[in-house]
Amino acid sequence: MGSEGKQDRRAPDESSHVLYLYETRNKIYAKRFVGFFRKLKKRSSIPLLLGYLLTPWLQIDGRQAIWFDLPERQFHIFWMTFWPQDFMLLAWLLIICAFALFAVTVLVGRIWCGFTCPQTVWTMMFMGVEHFFEGGRNKRIKLDLAPWNFNKIWRKGGKHGGWLLIAFITGFTFVGYFNPIRQLSVEFLTFSAQPATVFWAFLFAAMTYMNAGYLREQVCKYMCPYARFQSVMFDPDTLIVSYDEARGEQRGARRRDDDRRAASDLGDCVDCGLCVQVCPVGIDIRDGLQSECISCGLCIDACNAIMDKVALPGKLISFTTENKLENSKTRILRPRLVGYAAGLVVMISLFLYVLVVRVPLELDVVRDRSLLYRETSRGLVENIFTLRISNMDNRDHDFQIRVEGDYEFKFIGDQLVSVEAGEVLTHLVRLALDPGFLETGNADITFVVQASDDDKIIDSEHSRFIGPFSR
Amino acid sequence: MSTFWSVWVIVIFVGTVAGVCWVLFANRKIEVKEQPKDGEVPKTGHVYDGIEEYDNPLPGWWFNMFVGSVIFSAVYVVLYPGLGNFPGLLGWTSSGQWQEQEQRADDRFDAIYATFEGQSIEELSVNPRAFKMGRRLFGNNCAVCHGSDGGGGYGFPNLSDDDWLYGGTQEAITASITLGRRGAMPGWLAAIGEDGVNQVTEYLFKLGDRDHDESMVDAGEKVFNSFCAGCHGADAGGNEALGAPNLADNIWLYGSSPEMIKTSIRTGRQGLMPAQENMLRESKIRLLASYVYSLSRQQ
């Protein structure tokens, strides 16, 4: 909320005044101003958008290249297939992403917010539609104040139609990551999609519509945790969007032919207010660094153009650092950044290593719990084990099962099983032993499962053989 | 719930909601004595330990969400149980929901079970799909006692061999599952004495071709014929009508060691297979019976 809004909430009474503790939201009418940073934003968001929209259409090996198959609990990412057992990898990936965000924030501030965050990219798209149907800032303000007539209805209708279309494509694409999108598109066109699928597609569409159409900067200000803890990562060498107060103040309007330096004590800021009008989060950058600022640089575009017009040097508002503003040097390599970078490199290398040596096989061993052991009529002691062999590979395999331990167990059950790609085989085996051999009543054992055609696909699991303690 | 507690709950609920509404609306505005200086962020005038509160107003839509949740809770207690004994207009109950879900599951799985309708247990036992479903049912309902492989354990019969206490026909297996079984072997120590116990044991070992003391066998046979043969048969081959086990085949339900067998004779054994007719429907019992039947055929 801008300074105007705060003025409104003050009563004129001198001795005391009333504060309203719930904010009446002032709608932000951001002015469109084309400049370097807007173009940069557009260019950076187009590949991201295309990536989001087109990725689910890629096919590999006869299936969708990126397909999170929730009912089967298999997550296909290009040539690899991940199972819920691999969720540790996802956790690490997210930690790496968070760390990368920290490192980037230390170096260049909230570049993520201003240029790549989906909230920003979608909001910019929605603003584009708004601009197309309702026109520029002043026209939009006028239109909102105007009574409902045909002009207002078709402009507003067109805008909401455009928003809904984008929102639906977004929601549909999102669901397409979880349901094969080619089949899904046919189902949607023939109205034969599953109700649950339709629900999710429209839920995400509704969320997109609300977030990018209505909530916009409110998401950044009140919902996004990143915006709130950014200050922890900032230091005086971090790149921020800032107004050069020393150069700009005393701000004030002047005539074009005034010689500002000679004539008055006015600074370079002509107080045109354009930087406030273009701001998508509705702040005045001249008030200093604020938690609302998403570093989008649109105010820089506006200010540079004005400075050009009044024949003053640009960069009154610019991407700069606190140190630079105070005329000292900006250090790029500083311990904090080096630390983040080193941590990042180590984590990424470890992650890649784990990914490369990952074995697409998982063995679980479940002992029968209620029957500790069983005596056979020949006097042997038997234990029952349920083996769950998950073949996480994309090929069928035959697996050899063996048991390792201090004793020669008699293995009852198949020792060679074939498991299809993506199958979880439940395999029942028994181990038998003469209890006379058991010294302590039980023995540690290890089941080992190994693919017959590939020695590297091997997994093992510890378990325990239990017998009578004493006879 | 008694009337007192019902009223108690209603009072607490209404009081809480009313309190929340009061807090929400009473704090909409605040009168501040001090006029903020120019360029300063206004303060609310709240001071605690020298810490002053800045005026950072709550977003309006956030306030609306609070109001929305109050409205939601009011609608909820009208529709669903919550206000003391008031059952709610929808008549929802947790047991009703459970029954509904059970019904839905039954409807879904009945279609699958229907494909097995009219097939005999023998036919089902060679049907791979019925076998797989039977195995899952067995794992959920029977494996706790009889083991995942149906091999049994101490006091729980082996279902995967050819030795049956109550008969291995389709009808007998189905009856065992449906109605349960109660095995009762009385203790004989008082009647035959410790010597009798030892003699019978040696006799049984002879029948089972195990090492035995020949000198005690004759006496054991006499004891067996007068006390045991009534149920276990003159040849110790057992009696399926009574559930009396075969004592000559070296398959022992309660352990094969001499001491275990003697304990069985001295103090008797009580076995209980619980009836499943109230837990499992007939269609499931048939699949289970066919699975158990096929287990014994595999070996």
Would you call A222 and B35 a contact, using CB atoms and an 8 Å cutoff? no
Measured between alpha carbons, how far is A106 from B294 in angstroms, rounded to an integer? 69
Q: Within an 8 Å CB–CB cutoff, is residue B156 touching chain A?
A: yes
Whole-number mean pLDDT of chain A? 89
- The pLDDT score that the predictor gives to residue A1 is 38
A27-83 pLDDT tens trace: 899 999 899 999 999 999 999 999 999 999 999 988 999 999 998 889 999 888 899
Would you call A384 and B44 a contact, using CB atoms and an 8 Å cutoff? no
Q: Is the pLDDT of residue A6 over 70?
A: no
Of the candidates A6, A21, A382, which has its C-beta nearest B30's C-beta?
Answer: A21
Chain B contact set for A22 (CB, 8 A): 28, 57-60, 62-63
| pLDDT, average across residues A317-337 | 88
* In a shared domain, residues A321 and A262: yes
Measured between alpha carbons, how far is A386 from A367 in angstroms, rounded to an integer? 6
Of the candidates A18, A375, A428, which has its C-beta nearest B255's C-beta?
Answer: A375
| pLDDT, average across residues A291-299 | 92
Would you call B42 and A6 a contact, using CB atoms and an 8 Å cutoff? yes
Percent of chain A residues topping a pLDDT of 90:
63
Q: Is the pLDDT of residue A471 over 50?
A: no
Residue A20: closest CA among chain B residues belongs to which residue?
Answer: B29
Of A170-174, A313-317, B42-46, B260-264, where does mean pLDDT reach its minimum?
Answer: B42-46
Secondary structure class of B273 (helix, strand, coil): strand
Percent of chain B residues topping a pLDDT of 90:
54
Instruction: Examine residue A20 and state whether it is found in any structural domain, yes or no.
Output: no
Q: Is the pLDDT of residue A8 over 50?
A: no
Would you call A21 and B145 a contact, using CB atoms and an 8 Å cutoff? no
Q: Are B161 and B251 in contact (CB under 8 A)?
A: yes
Instruction: Look up residue B32 and give its DSSP letter.
Output: E
- The pLDDT score that the predictor gives to residue A377 is 75
The helix-helix angle for B3-26 and B60-79 (nearest 10°) equals: 160
- The pLDDT score that the predictor gives to residue A15 is 63
Chain B contact set for A410 (CB, 8 A): none
Smallest CA–CA distance, residue A15 to chain B, in Å, is 6
Measured between alpha carbons, how far is B68 from A138 in angstroms, rounded to an integer? 34
**pTM for the full predicted model:** 0.78
Return the beta strands (E) in B150-281 as ranges. Answer: 181-185, 269-273
Q: Within an 8 Å CB–CB cutoff, is residue A21 touching chain B?
A: yes
A275-297 burial, b at 16+ Cβ within 10 Å, e below that, comes to bbbbbbbbbbbbeeeeeebbbbb
Q: Is the pLDDT of residue A13 over 60?
A: no
Q: Within an 8 Å CB–CB cutoff, is residue B250 touching chain A?
A: yes
Of the candidates B58, B147, B152, which has its C-beta nearest A23's C-beta?
Answer: B58
Structure-block tokens of residue A381: 């002691």
* Number of structural domains chain A divides into: 3
Does the B183-273 domain belong in CATH 3.90.600.10?
A: no
* In a shared domain, residues A171 and A303: no
More confident residue, B200 or A8: B200
Main-chain phi, psi angles of A139, to 5 degrees = -65, -40
- Measured between alpha carbons, how far is residue A387 from residues A395, A448, A452, B138, B295 in Å? 20, 10, 17, 17, 19
Of the candidates A16, A428, A471, which has its C-beta nearest B149's C-beta?
Answer: A428
Residue A287: closest CA among chain B residues belongs to which residue?
Answer: B39
Residue A2: closest CA among chain B residues belongs to which residue?
Answer: B41
- The pLDDT score that the predictor gives to residue A465 is 93
A70-81 pLDDT tens trace: 988 899 998 888
| pLDDT, average across residues A340-350 | 94
For chain B, which residues make up each domain, given as ranges?
3-79, 113-180+274-298, 183-273
A139-161 pLDDT tens trace: 999 999 999 999 999 999 999 99
Please count the other Cβ atoms lying within 10 Å of the Cβ belonging to residue B160: 18
Instruction: Tell me how far apart the terminal alpha carbons of chain B are, to the nearest angstrom.
Output: 58
B274-278 contacts at long range (C-beta below 8 A, 24 or more positions apart): B274/B180, B275/B178, B275/B179, B275/B180, B276/B141, B276/B177, B276/B178, B276/B180, B277/B178, B277/B179
Per-residue pLDDT band at A258 (split at 50, 70, 90):
low
Place of tokens 């915006």: A227
Smallest CA–CA distance, residue A290 to chain B, in Å, is 13
B18-65 pLDDT tens trace: 999 999 998 888 888 777 777 677 788 888 999 988 888 888 898 999
- The pLDDT score that the predictor gives to residue A214 is 93
* In a shared domain, residues A270 and A416: no
Q: Which CATH superfamily is domain B113-180+274-298 in?
A: Cytochrome c-like domain (1.10.760.10)
Q: Is the pLDDT of residue A261 over 60?
A: no
* In a shared domain, residues A159 and A38: yes
Measured between alpha carbons, how far is A62 from A178 in angstroms, rounded to an integer? 16
Of the candidates B31, B60, B148, which has its C-beta nearest A25's C-beta?
Answer: B60
Smallest CA–CA distance, residue B148 to chain A, in Å, is 7
Instruction: Examine residue A125 and state whether it is found in any structural domain, yes or no.
Output: yes
Instruction: Examine residue A111 and state whether it is found in any structural domain, yes or no.
Output: no
Check which CATH number belongs to the domain holding A434 and give it: 2.60.40.10
The letter for the amino acid at B116 is: F
Same fold, B113-180+274-298 and B183-273: yes
* In a shared domain, residues A71 and A184: yes
* In a shared domain, residues A219 and A153: yes
Percent of chain A residues topping a pLDDT of 70:
94
- The pLDDT score that the predictor gives to residue A14 is 58
Q: Within an 8 Å CB–CB cutoff, is residue A223 touching chain B?
A: no
A188-237 pLDDT tens trace: 999 999 999 999 999 999 999 999 999 999 999 889 988 888 778 888 99
| pLDDT, average across residues A256-283 | 80
Chain A contact set for B61 (CB, 8 A): 25, 215, 218
* In a shared domain, residues A137 and A210: yes
| Chosen domain end from A186, A216, A232 | A232
A297-313 pLDDT tens trace: 999 999 999 999 888 88
- The pLDDT score that the predictor gives to residue A24 is 84
Whole-number mean pLDDT of chain B? 90
Measured between alpha carbons, how far is B161 from B152 in angstroms, rounded to an integer? 10
Instruction: Examine residue A139 and state whether it is found in any structural domain, yes or no.
Output: yes
Residue B62: its H or E element? helix B60-79
Measured between alpha carbons, how far is A306 from B41 in angstroms, rounded to an integer? 30
Would you call B28 and A20 a contact, using CB atoms and an 8 Å cutoff? yes
**The domain containing residue A266 runs over which residues?**
235-325
Of A255-264, A441-450, B94-103, B243-252, where does mean pLDDT reach its minimum?
Answer: A255-264
Please count the other Cβ atoms lying within 10 Å of the Cβ belonging to residue A463: 20
Q: Within an 8 Å CB–CB cutoff, is residue A17 touching chain B?
A: yes
- The pLDDT score that the predictor gives to residue B230 is 92
Q: Is the pLDDT of residue A11 over 60?
A: no
- The pLDDT score that the predictor gives to residue B299 is 53
* In a shared domain, residues A410 and A279: no
Q: Hey, which residues 336-375 in chain A have their CB within 8 Å of chain B?
A: 368, 370-371, 373-375
* In a shared domain, residues A55 and A204: yes
* In a shared domain, residues A275 and A195: no
* In a shared domain, residues A303 and A373: no
Instruction: Examine residue A203 and state whether it is found in any structural domain, yes or no.
Output: yes
Place of tokens 């689910």: A56
* In a shared domain, residues A180 and A166: yes
In angstroms, how far is CA A236 from the centroid of its own chain? 27
